[in-house]
Structure 1
Amino acid sequence: MKIITHYMLAGLLVAASIQNQAVSKATRSARQPFPEKGFWVTETAPGKKSTIVRYYAHSNHLVSETTEPALLDVRKVSVRKYLNEKLRKELEKDTTGQAVIKLYEID
């Protein structure tokens, strides 16, 4: 009877651990700052000392394209926060985004 109790206790602990991991993954980490709207894509050509950044709206509409004079390392949190802020500003300036038909609105 003790063995069954131990197995049941171990099973409960495993289930609690799995649930705890699922809940922690659902929240956004401070290490992974995501933009509220849209997304950005960086491109660095080999041998170049600059980075091309393209800013998109959620509908995959290209809002703008800029060239940063330095190499950007998107693994750094500060660079991702910088790009997210630039994306927010570019989306505020975008006037064509309001007129674009959303895919789910097409009959």
Structure 2
Amino acid sequence: MQFQTQLKILGAKKFRDTVDGVLYDNTKLFVEVNLNDNNGNAVGSASSEMQWGTSENFAKIASLQFPFLANCEMEMVTNGKTTKTVINDVRPVTNQAVAKSGA
């Protein structure tokens, strides 16, 4: 199931290395998400980690000023046991400033 949404990208981290004979190659994005608690114990926003393909994707956004808004293509995937949402494409929104304190 694919869908598009606009996200506030707070940061990014790449990793490419072999650990115990297994190659790991990924980029993780840290995106702003709303805190929602029906009991009133949480307000505001937090950061959530999302997968965005290989470490090559990191170079596409590394020179941008963070945080920034982006139109993102996302997809829900499963291994049969757990389900997660991954980012397939990131298109930064141009000409839109994002305040450092949050927008």
Whether TM exceeds 0.5 here: the answer is no
Instruction: Output the TM-score relative to the length of structure 2.
Output: 0.31
Q: TM-score, normalised by structure 1?
A: 0.30
Select the structure with the greater relative contact order (CA < 8 A; seq sep ≥ 6).
Answer: 2
Who wins on radius of gyration, i.e. which is larger? 1
- Report which of the two has the higher share of helix: 1
> Which protein is richer in strand relative to its size?
2
